[in-house]
Amino acid sequence: MLIHSNLKAIADSRGLTVRQIARDIDYRFESVRTMYNDEMERYPRDLLAKLCSYLNVGIDELLTLR
């Protein structure tokens, strides 16, 4: 089982770009893009917290275990 990011689906459904998200949460573009593309091997807690707050979602909506 692996952890997968749902950031792309959430962002796309809301019309948000990776660059816009990174700017709005004041986080490195490369890190947000890596998570958006579901290529992240380790998920920084501060990034997860900022994304959950910004998107108003729970961690269980942002990440899934498959």
Which pLDDT score is estimated for 1?
92
Which pLDDT score is estimated for 41?
94
Report the distance separating Cα 59 and Cα 10, nearest Å: 12
Q: pLDDT tens-digit profile of 25-65?
A: 999 999 999 999 999 999 999 999 999 999 999 999 999 99
Q: Which CATH architecture has domain 3-65?
A: Orthogonal Bundle (1.10)
* Per-residue confidence band for 23, with pLDDT thresholds at 50, 70 and 90: very high
Which pLDDT score is estimated for 27?
99
Which pLDDT score is estimated for 51?
99
Report DSSP letters for 1-66, one per residue: --EEE-HHHHHHHHT--HHHHHHHHT--HHHHHHHHTT--SS--HHHHHHHHHHHT--HHHHEEE-
Q: Where are the domains of the chain?
A: 3-65
Q: Which amino acid is at 33?
A: R
